[in-house]
Structure 1
Amino acid sequence: MSELHAPAREVLDQIAALPATSGRPLVICDVDEVVFHMIAHLEAFLAARDMGFLRHAYQLTGNIARKDSDTPIGQDEVRRMLLEFFTETSDKQSLVEGAAAALERLSADCEVIFLTNLPGSANKPARERLLAHHGMPYPVVTNSGPKGGAAAALSAGRGRPVVFIDDSPQNLKSVNLCLPETHLIQFVADDRFRAAIDPLPSVRLLTGDWQETTRHILTILDRS
């Protein structure tokens, strides 16, 4: 595994502290734009600061600019802004329709674990409380950067098949590289950003619908 995809020590420590595996199939699920809306909240956050997206593309650096400007803000400013955004928003993001019911249904047959890229260690408890408030008290592992190494570590010694649900093409590519037997689902709640995606060959399903996602995963389980 390349250094780019290797999980940080703090990620491995979180994984080591998880409850013992049940041996059931594993569903590794992202949070932002999959379970909770992110893009709509981020657009409101940016608009309040006279900024916005330049295009409906899955990137932040190079895609955020001040109003009446086509010049994107720099990477350092994007990072500072994201930390501020999550600090303000991690305890109040709105639920994607059908997410809680779908994961409850899947949890009857699968082990569900959230793997989320979340800046700021203090934001994890807020995210866990909000997930639990919406009926999703599944374990949360916070990560930074590509998720392939973390997904591989999560799946070690756990049940098969492994399903990975995420909105980010970069994370899906990373998991496919590090854990190629994984069933990849790209879930993007925002219709505009989903429509702009160039589907990856490794992705089994591109969707923004939790009912479709549930049916797809149950079909995978029936075949395993």
Structure 2
Amino acid sequence: MSEDPETARQIAELARDTRPLLVLDVDEVLLEFMVPFMRFLDAQGLAFSARSFKLTGNIVDVKTQVPLDQEAVSAQLDGFFHAQSEWQTAALGAADAVAGLAAGAEIVLLTAMPHRHRDIRRRHLDALGFPYPLLTTERAKGPALKLLRGETTRPVAFVDDIPHNLVSVREAVADAHLFNLMSYREMRAFLPPLPDGIVIEDDWSQAAPKIATALGL
């Protein structure tokens, strides 16, 4: 795994902090993603039909029922992220739960999306009550977590909905506490088995106390 140079630049701009570190994914963790994205697709004459834990192959043209290829899916995602403030809302209980954890931990948001959408996402997160530092990455999340933690031994927790992101962090930061959280629970049926040690929770009311305990708060 290699670092994303732009992500590394963003990390270098953060103030040094010695508190326990909580790194949070954005889509499906802090913000609703699947439900708003399906509504966005509907407005384009497209539909999402879940058959696996991925987007490509599951988005079809409503008239022809032909699945979109990877390039077309990427274009739809790009359009959605550009207009995210019109579609995405906060996940249930997320703002209050994270605010409570922020009393004792450093909170950093890490979203896998093109860097060009960072400013749009920053403004939208601020409007929804998530004023924490935001990092974007176009590569694996593990190296970003390792760089964020630095040479300290402070406790680290990471929350994400995507299994390979959690595995990436485990490979880079072996003692990180890992949590799987997913607002659109219907996709859980298509999740591959998660490695041992990853805590699976349905919502923030369940996840927040366990995150606090993991971080020693």
Is the TM value for this pair above 0.5?
yes
Change over 3 Å in CA distance of 1:65–1:100 after alignment to 2: same
2:177 corresponds in structure 1 to: 183
| Aligned partner (choices 80, 100, 120) of residue 95 of structure 2 | 100
Give, as a single letter, the amino acid of the residue that structure 2 aligns with 1:194.
Answer: R
Tell me, in whole angstroms, the C-alpha distance in 2 between the residues paired with 1:88 and 1:39.
15
Does the 8 Å contact 2:155/2:215 carry over to 1? yes
| Aligned partner (choices 10, 15, 20) of residue 14 of structure 1 | 10
Tell me, in whole angstroms, the C-alpha distance in 2 between the residues paired with 1:77 and 1:104.
37
Q: 1:72 Cα deviation (Å)? A: 2.5
1:86 corresponds in structure 2 to: 81
Structure 1 spans left out of the alignment, 5+ residues:
none
Does the 8 Å contact 2:2/2:139 carry over to 1? no
Q: 1:153 Cα deviation (Å)? A: 1.3
| Aligned partner (choices 127, 134, 137) of residue 121 of structure 2 | 127
CA distances 1:140-197 after superposition (whole Å, capped 9, x unpaired): 0011132111121112135621101011112112112222211110110012113432
Change over 3 Å in CA distance of 1:188–1:94 after alignment to 2: same
Q: How many residues align?
A: 217
TM-score (ref. length: structure 2): 0.91
Does the 8 Å contact 2:28/2:182 carry over to 1? yes
Tell me, in whole angstroms, the C-alpha distance in 2 between the residues paired with 1:106 and 1:62.
38
Q: 1:65 Cα deviation (Å)? A: 1.8
Change over 3 Å in CA distance of 1:109–1:70 after alignment to 2: same
Give, as a single letter, the amino acid of the residue that structure 2 aligns with 1:48.
Answer: A
| Aligned partner (choices 38, 61, 67) of residue 33 of structure 2 | 38
1:139 corresponds in structure 2 to: 133
2:112 corresponds in structure 1 to: 117
Give, as a single letter, the amino acid of the residue that structure 2 aligns with 1:14.
Answer: Q
Is structure 2 residue 197 aligned with structure 1 residue 209? Answer: no
TM-score (ref. length: structure 1): 0.88
Q: Which runs of 4+ in 1 moved over 3 A?
A: 68-71
Structure 2 spans left out of the alignment, 5+ residues:
none
